[in-house]
Amino acid sequence: MKRRDFIALLGGAATAWPLAARAQQPGKPPIVGYLGSGTPTAQRAWLDAFVQRLRELGWIEGRTVAIEYRWGEGRPERYAEIAAEFVRLKVDVILAGGTEATVAAKHATSVIPIVFPTAGDPIGSRLVVSLARPGGNVTGLSNLSSDLAAKRLEILREVLPGLRRLATMVNTDYSAGVTETREIEAAARTLGLDLVPLPIRRAEDIASAFGGLKGRAEALYVTGDPLVNAHRVRINTFALAARLPTMYVQREYVEAGGLMSYGANFPDLNRRAADYVDKILRGAKPGDLPVEQPTKFDLVINLTTAKALGLEVPPTLLGRADEVIE
């Protein structure tokens, strides 16, 4: 082979050389910007699942990959600040936890790949143009949260057959929560339920929402978002004091004292998000990676809370539960 042909071959290989191969050169690991939507305490299980899966795929933190952690604490203004910081740091991939965090990241950059482990409505939120071919620099997993609202109401009715008035707590600044509220309203009409809206926007709104609720509802449905997740213990304390059975979108709320939850397994979604990051670090384009759906759904029931509320959970429902907390 002639010398100039050999040099040309090397040049072409360098162009096609996956990011992972370049990044694993000594002193040059790729950087993942981890934008947690809540707090480290509230989302520890999600973070651990993500990092563990990266390790299984060969990305060892501090050796073959660097991870910059930032936490939005459920405050939308923080997401934009963190996303801008990641752009300045020139991270190689942004892991954006939740719809609002992903929207902020997408506004900050159209170049850096972005992976979302949980998004309620990726198309409606304009994160992707389609699930099969996302296009652009964003992809990830949908949690199907709004599509499960009717199922949650049916489960709640199994425990409370005479349920007529249902309070709904939603962060009105959270787009996925607003979308889910529309699903709740449609399901409530079918089941003949009267809804009592409890809109919140800040942590300070939680107490006042419960303050005006006395005697107006027989149960409480809380839509999921980083704000209420960070304050789930407080919400459950208020709900128990008001003698309100609660329905949530994920198990973490029930582990913190809520009555029931039904929804996607968020640690599993975060684990699967690591597979996206792995593929992107090895050269895949996010726009070519289809948005995937949850494969694990959990029904979790807290019998301790049920007993505190004087409720009998039907054995048939307990038999279907993925986890019963006693």
pLDDT single digits (tens) 254-282: 999 999 999 999 999 999 999 999 999 99
> Could you check whether 20-143+266-296 and 146-264+298-325 share the same CATH topology?
yes
- Per-residue CA distances from 71 to 32, 42, 81, 174, 270 (Å): 14, 11, 11, 17, 16
Query: Domain ranges in the chain?
Result: 20-143+266-296, 146-264+298-325
Q: Which of 44, 50, 49 is nearest to 71 (CA)?
A: 44
To which residue do tokens 């019998």 refer?
303
Q: Is the pLDDT of residue 226 over 90?
A: no
Q: Looking at the structure, give the CATH architecture of the domain made up of residues 146-264+298-325.
A: 3-Layer(aba) Sandwich (3.40)
SS3 call for 85: helix
* Tokens of residue 267, six digits: 């640690």
**What percentage of the chain exceeds 90 in pLDDT?**
72
112 within 8 A of 93, measured Cβ to Cβ: yes
- The mean per-residue pLDDT over the stretch 124-129 comes to 89
Predicted pLDDT at 239? 96
Q: Is the pLDDT of residue 7 over 90?
A: no
238/3: higher pLDDT? 238
The correct CATH number of 20-143+266-296 out of 3.20.20.140, 3.40.50.2300, 1.10.3080.10, 3.30.565.10 is: 3.40.50.2300
Predicted pLDDT at 216? 94
Q: How confident is the model at residue 121 (pLDDT cuts 50, 70, 90)?
A: confident
124/299: higher pLDDT? 299
Q: Is the pLDDT of residue 106 over 80?
A: yes
Round the average pLDDT of the chain to a whole number and report it. Answer: 89
C-alpha distance across the termini of the chain, in Å: 73
14/235: higher pLDDT? 235
CA distance 73 to 70: 9
Predicted pLDDT at 19? 47
SS3 call for 306: helix
Q: Is the pLDDT of residue 88 over 70?
A: yes
Predicted pLDDT at 11? 39
Q: Is the pLDDT of residue 4 over 80?
A: no
Predicted pLDDT at 13? 36
pTM of the model: 0.81
